[in-house]
Amino acid sequence: MSLPQYDSRNRLLTLLPEEDLERLLPHLERVTLPLGKSLCESGVEMDHVYFPLDAIVSLLCVLENGTSAEIAVVGNEGIVGVSLFMGGRTTLSRAIVQSAGEAYRLDGQRLKNEFYQAGEMQQHLLHYTQALMTQLSQTAICNRYHTLDQQLCRWLLLCLDRLPDTNLAMTQNLIADMLGVRRSGVTQAAGKLQQAGLIAYHRGQITVLDRPGLEERVCECYKVVKDEYDRLMARPVVM
């Protein structure tokens, strides 16, 4: 596709037919998403949706006392703002930038207009939503039945799938907030992975040294989620 100044790193956008993408392109605003920026608050309707290019956004469930836990991550495979085109208008989750980067921002009403035309864009957005629901449900299962070591491996691998390299700018406090556990637990789990030579951690920077080693330690939840994304977001085969 030879569209001028178009960054093709968002997987969902690249699935769109060229005519649909050309129609959207003049309205896609490239924006920088700094660490910690809120893209969506619980109960507040979004005005825009975001297609991350190299940023990662955490969807958090927030309790009345202010504590929160991550229920899903969104990166260059998808979109932040599914409630806009699903008709719910608002959501109970909060969307916070977990890893800084860039994204395309699109007016929410324009996306809804495209969605309701019931073309290929609608199909791809619904497929993505189904994959996201798989991640939500698998995260709940993982947090209930699997060890913190396995949860950390799952979380690291999901982040790696959405980043251009093996480096994550992430403090242990932030990881603890994402997983909804105490910092001491994350320190212990990360220490085990570092001692095994799987990661290196220094001053808020995590470098994955041995991805196959992480994949050997992780529970089945990671593969379930990855396989579902790959299945639902594969480019259709033209017969």
Secondary structure string (H, E, C) spanning 29-95? EEEEECCCCEEECCCCCCCEEEEECCCEEEEEEECCCCCEEEEEEECCCCCECHHHHHCCCCCCEEE
Q: What is the reported pLDDT for 2?
A: 46
With b for 16 or more beta-carbon neighbours within 10 A and e for fewer, the 129-158 pattern comes to: bebbebbeebbeebbeebebbbbbbbbbbb
Q: What is the reported pLDDT for 115?
A: 92
**Whole-angstrom distance, CA of residue 199 vs CA of residue 176:** 17
**Whole-angstrom distance, CA of residue 77 vs CA of residue 52:** 8
Q: What burial class does residue 212 get, using C-beta atoms within 10 Å of its C-beta: 0-12 exposed, 13-18 middle, 19+ buried?
A: exposed
| Among 160, 212, 202, 207, CA closest to 54 | 160
Q: What is the pTM of this model?
A: 0.92
Q: What is the reported pLDDT for 91?
A: 83
**Whole-angstrom distance, CA of residue 231 vs CA of residue 229:** 5
**Whole-angstrom distance, CA of residue 226 vs CA of residue 197:** 24
Domain with CATH 1.10.10.10 in the chain: 147-218
Got the DSSP string for 149-208? HHHHHHHHHHHHTTSSSSEEE--HHHHHHHHTS-HHHHHHHHHHHHHTTSEEEETTEEEE
Q: In angstroms, how far is the first alpha carbon of the chain from the final one?
A: 20
With b for 16 or more beta-carbon neighbours within 10 A and e for fewer, the 227-237 pattern comes to: ebbeebbeeee
Domain with CATH 2.60.120.10 in the chain: 11-142
CB of 75 closer than 8 Å to CB of 57:
yes
Hey, how many other C-beta atoms are within 10 angstroms of the C-beta on 184?
10
Q: What is the reported pLDDT for 236?
A: 63
User: Tens of pLDDT along the chain (239 residues)?
Assistant: 445 578 999 999 999 998 999 999 999 999 999 999 999 998 888 899 999 999 999 999 888 887 888 999 999 999 999 999 988 778 888 999 999 999 999 999 999 999 998 889 999 999 999 999 999 999 999 988 999 999 999 999 999 999 988 988 887 888 888 888 888 998 899 999 999 999 998 878 899 999 999 999 999 999 999 999 999 998 764 44
What is the architecture, at CATH level 2, of domain 11-142?
Sandwich (2.60)
Q: In this structure, what is the dihedral angle of CA atoms 199, 230, 100, 90, given to the nearest 10 degrees?
A: -130
CATH no. for 147-218: 1.10.10.10
